[in-house]
Amino acid sequence: MDYKELGLKVGLEIHQQLNTERKLFCHCPTSLRTDDPIYTVERRLRPTPSEIGEIDVAALKEYLRGKSYVYQYYDTNCLVELDEEPPHLVSDEVKRIVIEVSLLLNSNIIEEIQVMRKTVLDGSNTSAFQRTMLISTDGSIDTNNGPVSIMTVCLEEDAARLITQDERSKTFRLDRLGIPLIEIATGPDISCPEQAKEAAYKIGQILRATGKVKRGLGTIRQDLNVSIKEGGRVELKGVQKLEMIPIWVEREIERQISLVKIMKELTNRGSEKDLKFEFVNLTDLFTNTSSKIILGSLKKGGGVYGIKLKFFRGILGTEIQKGRRFGTELADHAKSYGLSGLFHIDELPNYGIVQEEVNNIINRLGVNEIDSFVILAGKEEICYKALEEIFDRCKKAFLEVPNETRDALEDGNSKYSRPLPGRARMYPETDIPPFVFDEKLIEDVKNNLPETFDHKVNRFISKYNLKKEEAERIAYDSPQLFEKVTSSLDIKPTIFIKTLDISKNLEREEGFVADDEILYLLFEKLSKGEIAKEGIEEILKRISKGENIQKVLLDFAPDNSISDVESAIEKIVIEKRDFILEKGDRSISPIMGLCMKEFRGKVDGSIINRIVTQKIEEILKLK
């Protein structure tokens, strides 16, 4: 793609949880809970006008969905998180961290910090707003494709964790609500997908250099703002995997190019003014249907409802991203109301809906050869709201690529989430007075800035004789633990990196994050010979399942003398004598596998290899 010709502009928003003793506005701990909550409370939230007298469009849309919100809380939560007590003053520990990050980003700290309220009506904040503070502006970082400006560095409270949801309600957990979150927003200077990835990586380096950020999936979240010349500004939320950033950018470019083509095709056919919203009850057309989705809705007391879309024949079936059509875009709007999706003329007959039923819909709605229709199954009031929103989206298809917020999907695509919020969502916090950073504090932080990433990498290469890739990996993921381990224990860097790889895999597969204390304990046991390096993966797997670490370590403590190990291996070798005679030296690897399985990580692999090789050589000599 010619990104310059397309007029591509990309901006990043990085949200990073800080690893602090207490939350931003109260003294509750910042740890997440995995046990069952002790209480729940249910609420409804309503939008209010901002200081400029306007109601934010995204907040209004959430309110119209009519959902209630259930909040789970623990004995490690307090009344601040439940919005039953005013917030406390901002944590001093957090102030120092945001000053440090601002200085590392060459960002100018503003004179007075004003806490603001940002309207959020999706239920993720009990107060219906998120508290946020502008800390610094006008910074910059360097990339291989040129400098990227840092527009703002903000400090805010993280949202509650979404646990479950359905068409009527959402359930959140309050353990995450209030954890300090630093938000870094770049300018729209990023001109290609790879530069977006590099900028995110560079900012991640700076954040990790502080040693005060949380690790693991969900602790850092990137949002991508993407636009092209004829398109709109789209915010992609929930971008967590660094390596996927270029793919998400490219897929959004493809989507906007496709929507521009659809817009031009529609304007050739007619005008959005020709579209009329007529909500029609079609339930009686499906009394004998074979569609499982529709039957399921009818059994729950729902119905089938539809609208005609003039000029849209063939449009809803048009692919706009790999595996996603324009009809999928509309289905995202329906799903935001808790519905399972929609049916449209370009995909029917299908899904148990037969041609006779399609013909009946066409006749009832007055659909001609160039028109389309959309039908939904569910409660009438919900279907009405959803079809009204789908109709509005189709009218916009004649005019523009809408500015909107979308959720990033694992495959690189995205789905509609809500309209893009505007300036009407912000207003001042009245419970916390503005504050000024102490000049002595800023000067002290400036004189004690942490080592830069590049300097740390070069030092690791020189001091520990590491390859550049190894040094970069350690410097990015766990530099403090590495230096603690290498300064006090006899652990090779290769073993350290292998353990990090195991830990990362468990994080991706199980959501388990092994903290530095657990990893250091493993390295300490390994250094003392109390566990074998071959046992580390299984030990971490068992800990990730919730087993007590001390019990697991006891299970992996060596319980065999060398003579016992030798006897056990000799028994296996004798049993496989014919195999060894047939394969010769090539039998060493398979026999090693059998022996490693026998000892289950309790014996060092080098010891097993030495004995296996010796026993096999003895048999081959007698051949």
d(CA 429, CA 132): 9
Q: How far apart are CA 193 and CA 526, in angstroms?
A: 43
Q: How many CB atoms lie within 10 A of CB 99?
A: 21
304 - beta bridge partners?
377
Cis peptide before 428 (omega within 30 of 0): no
Over 70: is that where the pLDDT of 82 sits? yes
Which stretch of DSSP H or E encloses residue 19? none
16: nearest Cα among 240, 221, 241, 243: 221
Q: How confident is the model at residue 203 (pLDDT cuts 50, 70, 90)?
A: very high
With helix as H, strand as E and coil as C, how does 527-554 read?
HCCCCCHHHHHHHHHHHHCCCCHHHHHH
Can you give the pLDDT at residue 623? 61
Tell me how far apart the 2 most distant CA atoms of the chain are, in Å.
95
- Decide: helix, strand or coil at residue 331: helix
User: How many C-beta atoms surround the C-beta of residue 425 within 10 A?
Assistant: 22
181 phi, psi to nearest 5 deg = -130, 125
Q: Kindly report the number of other CB atoms within 10 A of residue 69's CB atom.
A: 22
Contact predicate 99/445, CB 8 Å: yes
Q: What is the mean pLDDT of residues 292-298?
A: 93
Q: In what order do the strands lie in the sheet with 169-173?
A: 39-43, 68-73, 169-173, 161-165
pLDDT value, residue 59: 60
Element (H, E) at 326: helix 326-335
Residue 561 has pLDDT above 60, yes or no: no
Distance CA 478, CA 522 (A): 15
pLDDT confidence bin for 81, thresholds 50/70/90: very high
pLDDT(569) > 80: no
Distance (Å) of CA 360 to CA 286, 291, 351, 500:
10, 15, 16, 61
Phi then psi for residue 331, to 5 deg, are -60, -35
State the Cα–Cα distance between residues 313 and 346, nearest whole angstrom.
7
Q: Does 316 or 32 have the greater pLDDT score?
A: 316
pLDDT above 90 (res 530): no
Q: Which of 27-31, 504-508, 556-560 has the lowest mean pLDDT?
A: 556-560
Residue 21, classed as helix, strand or coil, is coil
Strand partners, 148: 141
CA distances for 95 relative to 184, 209, 438, angstroms: 15, 16, 10
Sequence-separated contacts (24+) of 489-497 with Cβ below 8 Å: 489/523, 489/524, 489/526, 489/527, 490/527, 491/523, 491/526, 491/527, 493/464, 493/466, 495/523, 495/526, 495/533, 496/523, 497/470, 497/473
342-396 pLDDT, tens digit each: 999 999 999 999 999 999 999 999 999 999 999 999 999 999 999 999 999 999 9
Instruction: Enter the DSSP assignment of 23.
Output: -
Least confident of 90-99, 215-224, 557-566, 606-615: 557-566
Least confident of 29-38, 68-77, 587-596: 587-596
Band the pLDDT of 301: cuts 50, 70, 90: very high
11 has pLDDT over 80:
yes
- Helix/strand/coil (H/E/C) assignment for every residue in 406-464: EEECCCCCEEEEEECCCHHHEEECCCCCCECCCHHHHHHHHHCCCCCHHHHHHHHHHHH
Residue 244: the pLDDT is: 94
Instruction: DSSP for 342-372, please give it.
Output: -EEGGG-SBTTB-HHHHHHHHHHHT--TT-E
Helix H segments across 465-528?
468-477, 479-488, 493-510, 516-527
- Per the CB < 8 A criterion, the answer to whether 391 and 404 are in contact is no
pLDDT of residue 350: 94
For 456, phi then psi, to 5°, come to -65, -45
Is the pLDDT score of 239 beyond 70?
yes
Instruction: Output the average pLDDT for the chain.
Output: 89
CA distances from 19 to 24, 116, 267 (A): 11, 23, 53
Which tokens in the block code for residue 170? 């959402």
In this predicted structure, which of 56-70, 362-376, 454-468 has the lowest mean pLDDT? 56-70
- Overall average pLDDT of the 195-221 stretch: 90
User: Has residue 460 got a pLDDT over 80?
Assistant: yes
The closest alpha carbon to 525, from 500, 502, 555, belongs to: 555
* Pick from 119-123, 217-221, 483-487, 599-603: least confident: 599-603
For residue 253, which of 196, 334, 184 has the smallest C-alpha distance? 196
pLDDT on residue 506: 84
Q: For residues 279 and 153, give the distance between their C-alpha atoms in angstroms, rounded to a whole number.
A: 47
The answer to whether 306 and 373 are in contact (CB under 8 A) is yes
Q: Which residue from 390, 394, 371, 370 is spatially nearest to 382, judged by alpha carbons?
A: 390
Contact 429, 117 (CB under 8 A): yes
CA end-to-end span of the chain, whole Å?
66
Q: With pLDDT > 70 as the criterion, what percentage of the chain qualifies?
A: 94
In this prediction, residue 23 has a pLDDT band, given cuts at 50, 70 and 90, of very high
> What confidence tier does 600 reach under pLDDT thresholds 50, 70, 90?
low
CA–CA distance from 424 to each of 127, 188, 224, 294, 392 (Å)? 17, 22, 21, 40, 21
**pLDDT number for residue 12:** 97
